[in-house]
Chains A and B, each alone.
Chain A
Amino acid sequence: MSLVETATPRRGSLLRLVRSELRLVLGRRRNQVLLAGLALVPLLLGTVLFLSQDTALDGQGPGFVGRVTSNGLFLVVASLFLCLPFLLPLTIGIASGDAIAGEASAGTLRYLLTVPVARGRLLAVKAVGALTFAAAAVAAIAVVGIVAGATFFGLRGITLLSGTTVPLGDGILRIAAVVVYVGLSMTGLVAVGLFFSTLTEVPVGAMAATVVTAIVCGVLDQLPQLAAIAPALLTHHWLDFAEFLRLEPDWGVLGQGLALQAAWVAIFGALAWSRFTTADVSS
């Protein structure tokens, strides 16, 4: 083979591509509508609870909902709790399933690859975009939750599940930890979405497969007959964010939750990489 002139990448070129990707993901109208939809959850929940205060229904509701009226901080926790089974996986499934498949279906993938962008690099940048969107989704709930909670019910030191009350500063830290844990719990799902996204040129298919994965895991996790495999299911530790509301969080359980996500990220990230770096691009 004759000598080929090599092309040296410029410094900062990766950052430039990441910025472009984030602009694309966060600037897209559909994604903004999805984030706004999630942000509506704490707003609506707060409004409903505010209006039903002082009625017979006050203080009732599933999980953390009943505690919101006494402390606005719980609006964040209650909203995350309500969004975790379906709305969050749906939103994140749409964004991560679209990552590669969307470019393939629009035909823009072939032009990115002939620019050229190395396939591994493109996958990494797409992962950054999808993870950022997942973080934005959780953050949208958290930020609107805390603002609405403060407005409707006021923020005060929280009473933990054990009955002990900790001061407001400690409470805010614990809520922040809940939000970060929920955000990290979404990373496995993002990896699953990216993998499905490399399989097809039909973005809706990849999105649906991702959301279905989360829902099926949630359902299987409920079956006592499947208790043996339950600890490996994507959603198994999602609700363990409640540990942060105990006086002494069980770090072992939280560690297992994060390790589980890391395992899903490793497996589906590797599958996505091996598929995407070798696939023929014929769209």
Chain B
Amino acid sequence: MTDGLAISTDGLTKRFRSGQVAVAGIGLHVPRGAVYGFIGPNGSGKTTTIRMLLGLVRPTSGRAFLLGGEMPGAGADVLPRVGALVEGPAFHPYLTGSANLARLDASDATADPRTARTRAGEALDRVGLGAAAGKPYRQYSLGMKQRLGLAAALLRPRELLVLDEPTNGLDPQGTREVRNLVRELAENGTTVLVSSHLLAEIEQVCSHIGIMSGGHLLLQGDRAELTSRGLPRLSVQTSTDHVGAAAEVLTGLGLTDVQATGVTVSALLGDVPPEKVSAALVHAGIDLLGLEVRRPNLEQIFVELTGEGFDVAR
């Protein structure tokens, strides 16, 4: 069941002692080589899932496999090949960035001490922290802390990276850099699971998407496949006195759900080619000031699925 999958879970559930069900029987499937966007509002169970994947939290029921090994038992064998950033970076405040990386490397029983310094230097350079390597962690800005967390995940070549909210606290430039880093790693064959409560931030780099809400995995799969599920909508801009006529033309062509707001008339396109619509409008003597066909993005699909705004914390 785990062939070709970097991560797979089966009925993975976590019920806290308070009785709250944080994760309710999810079946996560992350193919090797994928960039899997693990998306959901704050409090939807993403981090608890990630903690169970990494062996930090024991599942109440269900199973979790990481690189083919069942967690938490296989941790010693598979975790050296996994780089992780869990719920924000955490380091010793009074140690420098490079001393913190040295500490983590020293605790890795399978890491080569002879290359420790080189690897740490490379990881720091890779996230743009080379110049701040000698500064104590407590003097780092939020963005620098986040970068150090990424550097720790990159201390060794990894087969899988689990990045929980890696863009948290980063400015738009930093967010772009993280996206590029993820893209670059994925091109070299690393599987990446990246979680975020902001869909738009990571949607572009993902090959696969899983959407969590209230502890349930609502939807997962190939991104292109998911977005193609949304129905395309055509909207036409015209002059005030032509709104009614334009709506009639669209209805006449067989478009459904025709709506007029202001000078814009929109409808679900269905199978009608857009060029046929524009020709028909011009033929009917309607002022055609603009025409647009838009597929709903993932966020709109999510809203349709859950009937709620994306950033609503539950």
Residues of A within 8 A of B (CB): 1-10, 12-14, 16-17, 19-20, 24, 28-29, 106-108, 110-118, 121-122, 278, 280-282
Contact = CB atoms under 8 A, between A and B. Distances in A.
Contacts of B108: 13, 115, 117
Interface stretch (B65-73, B166-174, B199-207, B274-282): B65-73
Contact of A4 (B3, B67, B109): B67
Contacts of A115: 79-80, 104, 107-108
B76 interface: yes
Interface stretch (B33-41, B82-90, B232-240, B241-249): B82-90
Given A108-B92, A110-B86, A111-B152, A4 B76 contact: no
Given A4-B74, A20-B107, A118-B76, A113 B113 contact: no
B280 to A, nearest CB: 58
Nearest to B95: A24
Contacts, number: 118
Contacts of B3: 2
Contact of A114 (B65, B82, B95): B82
Contacts of B90: 106-108, 110-111
Contact of A116 (B67, B76, B93, B112): B76
A4 B54 contact: no
A125 to B, nearest CB: 8
B-side interface mostly: loop
Contact of B77 (A4, A17, A280): A4
Interface in B203-242: none
A112 B107 contact: yes
- Give the contact-size bracket for chain B: 35 or more
A114 B56 contact: yes
A-side interface mostly: loop
Nearest to B17: A280
Contacts of A108: 90-92
Given A4-B74, A115-B79, A281-B57, A13 B104 contact: no
Contacts of B94: 28-29
Contacts of B58: 278, 280
Contact of B70 (A1, A8, A107): A1
Contacts of B103: 20, 24
Interface of B: 2-3, 51, 54-58, 65, 67-70, 74-82, 84, 86-95, 102-104, 106-113, 152
Contact of B109 (A3, A13, A24, A281): A13
Nearest to B106: A20
A47 B1 CA distance: 75
21 contacts: A1-B70, A5-B78, A7-B81, A10-B109, A10-B110, A13-B110, A13-B111, A16-B113, A19-B106, A20-B103, A107-B88, A111-B104, A111-B152, A114-B55, A114-B79, A115-B104, A117-B108, A118-B76, A280-B51, A281-B57, A282-B56
B92 A24 contact: yes
Nearest to A108: B90
Given A10-B110, A20-B106, A116 B92 contact: no
Contacts of A24: 92, 95, 103
B149 to A, nearest CB: 8
Nearest to A118: B76
A6 B79 CA distance: 10
Contacts of A106: 90-93
A5 B112 CA distance: 18
Nearest 8 Cβ contacts at the A-B interface: A107-B90, A9-B109, A20-B106, A13-B109, A116-B79, A4-B69, A281-B56, A280-B57
Nearest to A113: B56
A114 B107 contact: no
A8 B112 CA distance: 12
B8 to A, nearest CB: 11
Contact of B112 (A3, A6, A10): A10
Given A4-B68, A7-B76, A108-B91, A116 B55 contact: yes
B107 A4 contact: no
